[in-house]
Amino acid sequence: MTMPRNLVLVRHGQSEANVIQKRDKAGDQRLFTEETMLVADRSWRLTEDGVAQARTAGRWIRENIDSFDRCITSPFVRTRETAASLGIRGARWEENRVVRERSWGEISPLPRAVFEEQYSHNALLKRKDPLYWAPPAGESIADVAENRVRNLLSTLHRESSEQNVLVVSHGDFMWSTRLVLERWSDEQFLRYDKDPSMTIHNCSVVHYTRINPHTGVEESKIRWVRFAHPRCDPETGQWRMQVQDWKSFDRRYLTNEELLAQAEEQARILSR
């Protein structure tokens, strides 16, 4: 058994909640009303831009992969709507809770300023350690990676060898998948988390493959990844995909000396 020949992950398009969150980051909390704060996270629809993003991503996916043997979507409304809007020919969608949104627990419906005020210690932990930090009653990125992502990959390895698989999911699930599949160290994750070029935008596509994109030779492991996302031309209002080059990756093994050198990059906190 091997992993799928191609594994394509897609984040949902812009949702109504994304609009509220964007306004909140800009300091405008007016969209946080009693009505919106009582909406379950799974229930948000796409905006018109979100649908346009999904259609744009779908065209690019169809141009690059002829067909999919397996199509999986999160059961959230915004991912269902995105999956349908991709326009994948002959798709038979499986709903799978494993690929659902990361749980934000108690802080899910809260404006950022309210979170900072009511959960000040937890907010401090978030700034200190974004990989292992978990919101109250929620999940950390590490939790999603080691529990749900590994669950999905194990299933695909067992059931979808040699197939082309499409997964419509959420930003933090995709971020966690990159952490696992590309075997990032903790330090790499922290660097990438601050790198704007690594941002998983609405309807971003992460395409993994076992087929060498330069030679066409199929290998036994997923070794290559490329990243694309829709971008709206401000002059024409047209959505187009912005595509990054293929990158290769592999598991890295460390000697005792390399492990020690990494440890010694961190200064001791206590003096003798």
Would you tell me the crossing angle of helices 48-64 and 77-85 to the nearest 10 degrees? 50
> Would you give per-residue pLDDT tens digits along the chain (272 residues)?
799 999 999 999 999 999 999 998 888 888 888 888 888 999 999 999 999 999 999 999 999 999 999 999 999 999 999 999 999 999 999 999 999 999 999 999 899 999 999 999 999 999 999 999 999 999 999 999 999 999 999 999 999 999 999 999 999 999 999 999 999 999 999 999 999 999 999 999 999 999 999 999 999 999 999 999 999 999 899 999 999 999 999 988 999 999 999 999 888 888 76
Per-residue confidence (pLDDT) for residue 272, from 0 to 100: 67
Give all domains of the chain, ordered by start, each with its CATH number.
Answer: 6-102+139-264 (3.40.50.1240)
**Residue among 12, 170, 207, 229 flagged as catalytic:** 12
Q: Please provide the DSSP assignment of the chain as one string.
A: ----SEEEEEE---BHHHHHHHHHHTT--TT--HHHHTS-GGGPPB-HHHHHHHHHHHHHHHHH-S--SEEEE-SSHHHHHHHHHT--TT--EEE-GGGSPPP-GGGTT--HHHHHHHTHHHHHHHHH-TTT---TTS--HHHIIIIIIHHHHHHHHHH-TT-EEEEEE-HHHHHHHHHHHTT--HHHHHHHHT-GGG---TT-EEEEESB-TTT--B-SS--EEEEEEEEE-TTT--EEEEEPPPEE-------HHHHHHHHHTSPPSS--
> The tokens of 245 are what?
């080059």
**Residue among 81, 101, 139, 170 flagged as catalytic:** 101
Annotated active-site residue 34? The verdict is no
- Binding site as annotated, residues for substrate: 11-18, 78
Annotated active-site residue 12? The verdict is yes
What does pTM read for this prediction? 0.94
Per-residue confidence (pLDDT) for residue 101, from 0 to 100: 97
* Residue 235 amino acid letter: E
- Binding site as annotated, residues: 11-18, 78
- How far does Cα 140 stand from its chain's mean position? 13
